[in-house]
Copies of this chain bind each other. A is one copy, B any other.
Amino acid sequence: MLRLNTRDAGFEQAFRRLVNDRRESDDDVARDVQIILDDVRNRGDEALAELTERFDGHVLASDTDWSISSEACREAFDILQPDLRAALELAAKRIRTYHEAQLPADRDETDKHGVRLGARWNAVDAAGLYVPGGRAAYPSSLLMNAIPAKVAGVERLVVVTPTPKGQINPLVLAAAHLAGVDEVWRVGGAQAVAALAYGTKRIKPVDVITGPGNAWVAEAKRQLFGVVGIDMVAGPSEILVIADGKNDADWIAADLLSQAEHDPTAQSILITDDPLFADTVADRVGVELAMLPTARVAAESWKTHGVIIEVASLDEAPALANALAAEHVEIATDDPEALFRQIRHAGSVFLGRHTPEAVGDYVAGPNHVLPTGRRARFSSGLSVLDFMKRTSFIQCDAKSLGKIGPAAIALADAEGLPAHARSIEVRLGI
């Protein structure tokens, strides 16, 4: 854990290093991924089966090897423990309600010249959702990706998920049923992303691919950006907690560890104006770690990437927060609004002492798929807009074209595009 103080001489330099530390895999997976993408593009299901056997130890022979039926998903949902089922249902309902309010409005206006202008939104026809296998197979992630797609109006929602050695995660199937997923294919890695983008004989192509994955999946999505739409380039998770000394140190320590347990490359940062509180939180992190079943991962993350920044006043916090542009920002003070107003760059903000970030991971309603690695400077969390697109439209009649057409002719001539000018001139009888 790194301890910084804004009053120290070396702070600027140390903080700049922190801001520029992307914590991202620099393995050169790009070439391997490109080979896999080309292979699936050229040989389709045959390549998919070979790669799935090689990487997942799963043989794709019969139809049930290839995909999981809607009935199997429904069964997984039906046999859930009642409290878990209720929790999933509450999460799904709240996520749906929050995202329904994101649906954009169409426009249709006519201006004073009689020019009609507008825009109409449509959902993409088909979306693909990557769901990791193994440790990171989170039903909550499935809900957070699938529900916005369905709210957007996507008719065909396809899940791909690896089933290593044939192993299926029943919680993921239950969530797929609840979210209304239409197809579940038992493939993973870059090969699954390629199948979604290019299509194969069995798997029809989709228009947008979202969902978390390892470095290979992320690189495959990055390479296929433009062939399909993708949500974002995701990196390790991070939290920035801004807390005064009046907080319960146990609460804040728990929040820092909730991020750290995700991954050894996850990052937890505390900014506080109270040096004693900083000491106590550091102690309590140690105590809590001793009791935590996920201590191995969380301890490595905290040791390697954890940071406590001591500030002279919390008024210094927004500038630091904007430079870090963190995925999650907690503001644990009596008047969180005062600081929040000054924070321009953050994925999601958790206000006040009773809003641990974890409540946003599951049940609050806003999306938990958020920009990481300072990408909150320019990108947003997942929303229904990621599954929709806008078609603008223009309608002139003879009179309104007469009003605005001559200016277009002048500009087309100036740009050396005479056929552009001509298409207006012929209509105006020029």
Residues of A participating in the B interface, judged by any CB pair closer than 8 Å:
83-84, 86-88, 90-91, 94, 97-98, 101, 107, 109, 111, 115-117, 119, 122, 124-125, 135, 138-140, 171, 207-208, 222, 225-226, 228-229, 232-233, 248, 250-251, 254-255, 257-258, 260-262, 288, 292-294, 298, 336, 340, 343-367, 370-371, 375-381, 383, 385, 389-398, 400-401, 404-408, 410-412, 414-424, 426-427
Contacts and interface: CB of A to CB of B under 8 A. Distances in A.
A328 to B, nearest CB: 10
A401 to B, nearest CB: 5
A354 B292 contact: no
B261 A393 contact: no
25 contacts: A84-B410, A84-B414, A88-B411, A90-B404, A91-B407, A117-B364, A124-B378, A207-B377, A251-B427, A258-B422, A261-B417, A294-B419, A336-B395, A343-B391, A345-B389, A350-B394, A351-B393, A354-B397, A355-B396, A356-B427, A358-B421, A363-B405, A363-B407, A364-B396, A365-B394
B416 A294 contact: yes
B376 A380 contact: no
Contacts of A255: 423
A263 to B, nearest CB: 11
A21 to B, nearest CB: 14
Contacts of A408: 87, 91, 358-359, 361-363
A9 to B, nearest CB: 24
B367 A392 contact: yes
Contacts of A233: 225-226
Contact of A254 (B359, B406, B415, B426): B426
Nearest to A387: B378
B207 A378 contact: yes
Given A117-B366, A394-B360, A377 B124 contact: yes
Contact of A417 (B83, B294, B347): B294
Given A139-B411, A258-B422, A381-B390, 8 more contacts: A87-B407, A90-B404, A122-B344, A124-B378, A171-B415, A229-B375, A293-B418, A352-B396
